Amino acid sequence: MLKVTPFDKITRFDLARKLPIRWRYWTTAYLVDGMMVDSGCAHSAPELLTALADTPLNCIVNTHTHEDHIGANGDLQSQRPGLGIYAHPLALPILADPRGMQRQQLYRRIFWGWPKPSIGKPLSDGETVETAHHRFQVIYTPGHSPDHICLYEPEQGWLFTGDLFVGGKERALRAGYDIWGIIASLKRIAGLPATRLFPGSAQVRDNPKQELASKINHLEELGGRVLELHGKGWSDQAIVRAVCGGAMQIEWITLGHFTRKNLVLSYLGMNKDW
């Protein structure tokens, strides 16, 4: 499934696998001045290739290597020999061998599928990606993943945040995420004078400064509460109930990979991937 939405000079692609159920998870890619920011999931790659068939494409920049952001890399690079794909240096081994380097739980295979390999080039913190009319600053923002970056175009005020900021107030977290790293990265981008924020899913935000500040405050307050109760000797499960509320649908959909307990454990420095 593919939905296309124009935002002035930017085209947004919302992508998801069509399933015989009402619940699905959308992921988002963007086209700006011949540059793709991410490429969706493998299941939606054919639709994206069709949508881009008559579009000049100079490069792809991946915000990170989760399978719902690199899914069409390999197909686009095969279709367009010499197409440059750029990502953080930590991302390059995963781009080259997604199956071997990145384990997928069942729900991830169902919703997003296995990306094909692609050849990436390193893009480090502080570097610039230049297109015909714009210059994008690369900002290293780990936490959601160790290889996560954001892109900022200062003249336009555009901020592409991948999955660092997607809105809402977290009550659960995926195994392996680093919540304190996420908070530190959010603080880094919150200081930018961005006028429009383009997330890796969820709605585009205009003048996002207040939303970023609110997100940081929420996560820090939540963390403070977790640490307070942990210091009083509360069990992990008791903290989960007190801080994160009741059970969530996503916990059983992901078979325990995305849970309230993982959020609590991440605040305590114990959220390991599996």
- pLDDT classification of 246: cutoffs 50, 70, 90: very high
148 within domain boundaries: yes
181 within domain boundaries: no
268 within domain boundaries: no
- The rounded percent of the chain whose pLDDT value lies above 70 is 97
Highest mean pLDDT of the ranges 66-80, 94-108, 161-175: 66-80
- Quick count: other Cβ atoms within 10 Å of Cβ 258? 20
The overall average pLDDT reported for the chain is 94
Please name the helix (run of DSSP H) or strand (run of DSSP E) that holds residue 221, with its range, or none.
Answer: helix 209-231
Its domain, for residue 138, covers 2-169+192-218
* pLDDT at position 16 over 80: yes
Which is nearest to 28 in space by CA: 255, 201, 165, 210? 201
Angle of helix 236-244 relative to helix 209-231, nearest 10 degrees? 140
* pLDDT at position 24 over 70: no
Cβ pair 64, 73 in contact under 8 A? no
27 within domain boundaries: yes
The reported pLDDT for the residue numbered 25 is 79
The reported pLDDT for the residue numbered 71 is 97
Least confident of 146-155, 178-187, 216-225, 247-256: 247-256
Distance CA 78, CA 73 (A): 9
69 within domain boundaries: yes
Which segments of 123-216 are extended strands (E)? Answer: 128-130, 135-140, 149-153, 158-162, 173-174, 196-199, 205-206
First to last CA, the chain: 30
Report the number of distinct structural domains present in the chain: 1
Cβ pair 194, 204 in contact under 8 A? no
- The rounded percent of the chain whose pLDDT value lies above 90 is 83
Which is nearest to 162 in space by CA: 108, 124, 206, 199? 199
- pLDDT classification of 168: cutoffs 50, 70, 90: confident
* Residue range 205-233, pLDDT digits in tens: 998 999 999 999 999 999 999 999 999 99
186 within domain boundaries: no
What residues have CB less than 8 Å from 46, skipping those under 6 apart? 75
- pLDDT classification of 21: cutoffs 50, 70, 90: low
Least confident of 78-82, 100-104, 258-262: 100-104
Q: Which two tokens stand for residue 102?
A: 């990145």
133 within domain boundaries: yes
Q: Which two tokens stand for residue 180?
A: 């304190």
Cβ pair 64, 162 in contact under 8 A? yes
Print burial letters for 213-239: b (CB count within 10 Å at least 16), e (below 16). eebbeebeebbebbeebbeeebeeeeb
CATH of the domain at 152: 3.60.15.10
* pLDDT at position 274 over 60: no
* pLDDT at position 155 over 60: yes
* pLDDT at position 258 over 70: yes
**pTM higher than 0.85, yes or no?**
yes
Distance CA 31, CA 14 (A): 12
* pLDDT at position 272 over 80: no
- pLDDT classification of 18: cutoffs 50, 70, 90: confident
113 within domain boundaries: yes
